[in-house]
A and B are shown apart, each in its own frame.
Chain A
């Protein structure tokens, strides 16, 4: 199995630009999670999906952030407009179901975003 795939691995952009991060979960996993990792705040859950439907987006920092999952094999996290404080590593993770809830989460390699 290829594991969770994220692209791009690195993104450098200027303040005010739109940024789109992409994720392909492991086939057969019906939960998908987006996390952000910074030195100051550690790992934070931004949003998660179940069967392509957003379930909990309470971690999304503000309206500049949006996430979609148009099908079971693809999700995007978009930031528009981007700001320097959005600089972080963004991880996608997927998980199969187990007894009505999620099982172990498998993480992608992350996208390192730098906003200048």
Chain B
């Protein structure tokens, strides 16, 4: 079975840093594009970042550009999100996700999420 397990979320002060991890299993990790998606308390889904299979193509939402860095280690079946200069508005559940997209539009999986709280 496909599994995505996020970790690393915790309470952090404004301006601080945090590194989220996502451990993947049950599929060929190196063959799939990966994403981070977040959801602030009581709010909708917000796409945060994308990384291609090799890591050669990376995109960020404008809200996190210059502060967050996505990366992956295909040898370790792991996805990461380095979060710097954190703000209160970054408080959210962060999901690691394979978003259904060509050529596998129905291959869509999400982790259970990890909570990041930015507060003093």
A binds B: no
Interface residues of A, Cβ cutoff 8 Å to B: none
Interface residues of B, Cβ cutoff 8 Å to A: none
